[in-house]
Chain A
Amino acid sequence: MTWSLVGLLVLIYARLQLVRHGELSEQALQQAVKVRPIPAPRGLVLDRNGNRLVDNRRALHLVIQREDLPTKPEVVASLAAALELDPAALTRKIQSYWQAGKGRPLVLKENLDEVGIALAERIRARFPFLSVEVAPRRVYLGDELAGHVLGYVGEVDEQMMKEKHDVFRLGETIGKEGFEASGNDKLKGVDGQKRILVDQLGTEVANFGQADAQTGRSLFLTLDAGLQKVAEDAMGQEAGAVVVLDLRDGGVLAMYSSPSYDPNLFLNRLSQDMVDRYLANNVTRPMVNRAIQGIYAPGSTFKLLIAIAALEKGVITPQTPIFCGGRKNFYGRDFRCDKPTGHGSLNMVQAIAQSCDVYFYELASRMDIDDIYATAEKYGLTERTGIDLPQEKRTRIPSREWKRKAVPRDPKWYAGETISVGIGQGAVGVTPLGLARFYALLATRGKMLTPHLFYGFRDDQTNALEPAAVPAFKDTPLDPKIWSVLAEGLHEVVQSGTAAANPFIREIAKEIPFAGKTGTAQVATFVDKAHYARQAKKLKDHALFAGYAPVDHPQIAFAVVVENAGFGSTAAAPVAAKLVKYWCVDRLTNPLPPPRGRMVDPFAPQQPQEPEASE
């Protein structure tokens, strides 16, 4: 009796320990030995002088490892409730992670602060499959300084996975906006891997060896943090955009879109407050990079293109005087000059300096719209500039073909429409970047630069710049005779013309002679000036100023747009003057300190770690 009982048990154990040994050993190994990816930190982003714009910090994320993903709907539901997540979205995410097989863990909450860590510890008792993972995190040191240029990173989303599932891996951190997105391939590293022994709670007990993650390469941008700061301060509360280009190579020295946003805030799941402030805000639209996505009527800044077209076409000579009586009738309709009393008789230099509308109505009337379009095409105003940022918009220069496509119910081009184009109104629309590139072309007598932000990688040993190849530029030389007329006109704008009325401009121009053109782009039509003055701010004109500096050996070209601010000379030109002064004087004698955000480490645990990827 006794021994038959013992014998029965021996048989049961022989089956498990001798027959099924291999299979069960495999299972024991599988649940105790895990291969976990080590997320690679992205490269740092520096300005042209090596100041850090984007840094890395350590962060703690609340995650679920792939093999621990919960399956029971009620578990998922109570987890969603505990973390205040949307249960449907969480279920969908868990399912997509199931299907994707091995890889990064599912991140439930990113960049845990003290409160988050306490919460994680508390609910881990109920949900033992949760774990806290250390991963690198981005810090944007300038806060709003260059939000649109730098962009931000985030987890690759469902949409992107669907579109390019062979490129992105689930759970991967990628650039979402700005240079983080367009330079993603340059900045991203290569994830490492480790084989570890884990206990039942998934805690690492031993490490059997790992392939280290390769940090992404750090790189320099062409931005000058100091000049960028000047642009930010000069714009203040006004909406608009600033672009400054380096005339040597087309590098973007400053690009500021106002209102800006703080990329640091976009690293975490969006709060309702942020959605209200940034995403659902249709009035100021802070997420739009106005420098490359804002389409503005160029106003008088467009007159230079009309001048080139007229001179090249031979419909006028620079010396030919045209009389301005304050208004002129074309095709049975009165077109008014900005100066109601009239400018009298003007040659081209004077017309540019005084920004006489009648003069340029007259030039436009002597040409066909397609002539103007052809000139704009020749000097690169009809195409995107090709800057290395995502979603650049195209400038809009009207032509007969354009109208056929854009206004199908009234496809015919009327000669009267050409008159408005003569002063940069009507259907004409340019991006501030496109405008800056056009003025760079004027400054360089015909170099069509390709604006770019990527300056070069950082040499990991010396921390020095390895300059990248300058993007190709097209040479479309301006006739020197034409150029000298334009240059003189632009200089006179600041010396004696529309911009010289402002004493602040005069003072800076005395120190550093610069050239430029004011512009005032109508947003709405008004009966008279009194009516205009009574209107709400949002209906006021956009102020523009575009030009280059210094006059003799130009180094920079710029375009400034201040929305709903009134005249170009009072609102936009002072911003440009500040940029010129910093670049030509203060930068060399008294440069601004490198950026340091107000919240250098808003999410770090109590004792902040040393930067992950420091020298």
Chain B
Amino acid sequence: MKERFRALDPRLLWVLLALIALGTLTLYSAGRNTVQATIWLKQSVWNLLGLSLMLLLASMDPRRIFRYSFVAYLLGLAALAAVLVVGKKIGGSTRWFSIAGQTFQPSELMKWVTLLYLSQRLGSRNADTVGRLELVGAIGLVVFPMLLIERQPDLGMALSFLPILLIIPLMKGLRARWIVALVLLVLAGGFGAWKFALKPYQKQRVMIFLDPSSDLKKKGYQVNQSKIAIGSGGLIGKGFTSGSQTQLNFLPVKTTDFAFSVWAEERGFLGVLLALGLFGLLMSRILDAARAAHTNPEAYFCAGAAGIFGLHLLVNVGMVAGALPNKGMVLPFFSAGGSSTLSFFLALGLIMGILHRSRVK
């Protein structure tokens, strides 16, 4: 057992525990005086469960995990297809399996499984001999689950798959034409999505982002209330459990998408600096792991993971401040939710295992 704990990377662990502490305090304050008063306890259970799984994964040889990546990918696709058929419909979207009163969102885990499989597939090849056709195939492997998720519909989740594609410029040596090709792909995808795939509510979100004052009463209302919460927090914040926007329920969906606004209102700019600093440390430690990794698949996985964490941070924290569209992307360790929490911990477990192996040998 002691051996197992040695597998945990202390720097990553401390940052992680600090973020969990911040997130738990935030959820306690956000749930106060609402029907979700115990949400911080529920989330703590998920966190403990996640930490245990992380410990388990960290002490395993990463190569064993990579070996199952193809099977996991196929199972993941099957799950995404199945959820469209038998999934539980909540708020107009079919994203969840409902098992014994607990909902589980397969797309959360599928994001990491796709990253795992692509890292394994491309990492085991010689970068110089990889053909273009194969690279297009690799892109297809990422896009296919994205399309399935978009059917749910869950655009935010689908977009959070995009950092996985970073692996390709990474293995090809960050060449300019690959970057240009990627940007073109994103633009074309965005245009195609706007033209054919986007639902009216999604288009509305983009429009509100472009002009938030146009529809204060609907989606723009949420972002506007969030901006008021953050801005009125000022330098030092209004104090724990004393944020008027949070406590008087002006702030919407404050236990999930807008949890960070709660923290920003009650802890102020200094609290924001602390939280963003911790996220920065988290990501730079994951990038350390990418550099230190012994094998290409491990390095690619860590780089992609840093990208995914970075995207969640950028989109969520930027969105609640009104700087990015209201996409509904969760913030790790702040937003309540079982599936996403467990997925983040599983990924971190694998990263710790990679770090451990790089130190041991």
A residues near B (Cβ < 8 Å) are 1-3, 5-6, 8-10, 12-14, 16-18, 20-21, 23-25, 27-29, 31-32, 72, 197-201, 205
How distant is B79 from chain A, measured CB to nearest CB, in Å?
Answer: 31
Jot down 18 A-B pairs with beta carbons below 8 A, ordered by A. Answer: A1-B310, A2-B284, A5-B280, A5-B310, A10-B272, A16-B227, A16-B230, A17-B230, A17-B234, A17-B268, A25-B232, A28-B229, A28-B231, A29-B244, A31-B250, A198-B248, A200-B249, A205-B248
Residues on the A chain within 8 Å of B310, using CB: 1-2, 5
Residues on the B chain within 8 Å of A205, using CB: 248
Instruction: Scan B155-166; emit 1 where CB is below 8 A from any A CB, else 0.
Output: 000000000000
Stretch at the interface among B177-185, B204-212, B317-325, B345-353: B317-325
Are B276 and A17 in contact (CB-based, < 8 A)? no
Q: Does residue B37 face the partner (Cβ distance < 8 Å to A)? A: no
Q: Does residue B273 face the partner (Cβ distance < 8 Å to A)? A: yes
Indicate which residue in B248, B284, B322 contacts A200 across the interface (CB closer than 8 Å): B248
CA of A12 to CA of B320 in the docked complex: distance in angstroms? 11
Q: Closest A residue to B324 by CB, please name it.
A: A12
Are A6 and B250 in contact (CB-based, < 8 A)? no
Residues on the B chain within 8 Å of A8, using CB: 314
CA of A197 to CA of B310 in the docked complex: distance in angstroms? 39
The CB with the most chain A CB atoms within 10 A, among B228, B287, B322, is that of B228
Are A13 and B280 in contact (CB-based, < 8 A)? no
Are B228 and A24 in contact (CB-based, < 8 A)? yes
Are B313 and A24 in contact (CB-based, < 8 A)? no
Indicate which residue in A1, A9, A17 contacts B313 across the interface (CB closer than 8 Å): A9
How distant is B279 from chain A, measured CB to nearest CB, in Å?
Answer: 7
Residues on the B chain within 8 Å of A14, using CB: 269
Indicate which residue in B228, B272, B283, B323 contacts A2 across the interface (CB closer than 8 Å): B283
CA of A9 to CA of B283 in the docked complex: distance in angstroms? 14
CA of A175 to CA of B264 in the docked complex: distance in angstroms? 53
* In the complex, the 3 A-B pairs of residues with the closest C-beta atoms, listed nearest first: A24-B231, A28-B232, A199-B248
Q: Closest A residue to B272 by CB, please name it.
A: A13
Q: Closest B residue to A27 by CB, please name it.
A: B228
Known: A12-B318, A12-B321, A201-B249. A18 touches B235 (CB 8 A): yes
Indicate which residue in B229, B231, B244, B322 contacts A23 across the interface (CB closer than 8 Å): B231
Known: A12-B318, A17-B233, A200-B250. A3 touches B280 (CB 8 A): yes
Q: How many residues of B contact A (CB 8 A)?
A: 36
How distant is B216 from chain A, measured CB to nearest CB, in Å?
Answer: 10
Indicate which residue in A10, A24, A199 contacts B276 across the interface (CB closer than 8 Å): A10
How distant is A29 from chain B, measured CB to nearest CB, in Å?
Answer: 8
Residues on the B chain within 8 Å of A29, using CB: 232, 244
Q: Does residue B7 face the partner (Cβ distance < 8 Å to A)? A: no
CA of A31 to CA of B225 in the docked complex: distance in angstroms? 10
Q: Closest B residue to A70 by CB, please name it.
A: B217
Are B264 and A13 in contact (CB-based, < 8 A)? yes
Which residues from 224 to 256 on chain B have a C-beta closer than 8 Å to any C-beta of chain A? 227-235, 244-245, 248-250
CA of A576 to CA of B188 in the docked complex: distance in angstroms? 98
CA of A24 to CA of B261 in the docked complex: distance in angstroms? 13
How distant is A90 from chain B, measured CB to nearest CB, in Å?
Answer: 19
Residues on the B chain within 8 Å of A201, using CB: 249
With A2-B310, A25-B232, A32-B248 given, can you name 6 additional A-B contacts, CB distance below 8 Å? A5-B283, A6-B276, A6-B277, A9-B313, A12-B317, A197-B244
The CB with the most chain A CB atoms within 10 A, among B231, B264, B287, B321, is that of B231
Q: Does residue B293 face the partner (Cβ distance < 8 Å to A)? A: no
Residues on the B chain within 8 Å of A13, using CB: 230, 264, 269, 272, 276, 321
Indicate which residue in A2, A31, A199 contacts B287 across the interface (CB closer than 8 Å): A2
How distant is B314 from chain A, measured CB to nearest CB, in Å?
Answer: 6
Q: Closest A residue to B323 by CB, please name it.
A: A12
Are B306 and A27 in contact (CB-based, < 8 A)? no
Which residues from 275 to 334 on chain B have a C-beta closer than 8 Å to any C-beta of chain A? 276-277, 279-280, 283-284, 287, 306, 310, 313-314, 317-318, 321-323
Are B232 and A21 in contact (CB-based, < 8 A)? yes
How distant is B331 from chain A, measured CB to nearest CB, in Å?
Answer: 11
Q: Closest B residue to A199 by CB, please name it.
A: B248
How distant is A157 from chain B, measured CB to nearest CB, in Å?
Answer: 30
Known: A13-B264, A14-B269, A32-B250. A5 touches B314 (CB 8 A): yes
How distant is A547 from chain B, measured CB to nearest CB, in Å?
Answer: 71
How distant is A32 from chain B, measured CB to nearest CB, in Å?
Answer: 5
Are A16 and B231 in contact (CB-based, < 8 A)? yes
Indicate which residue in B231, B249, B318, B321 contacts A21 across the interface (CB closer than 8 Å): B231
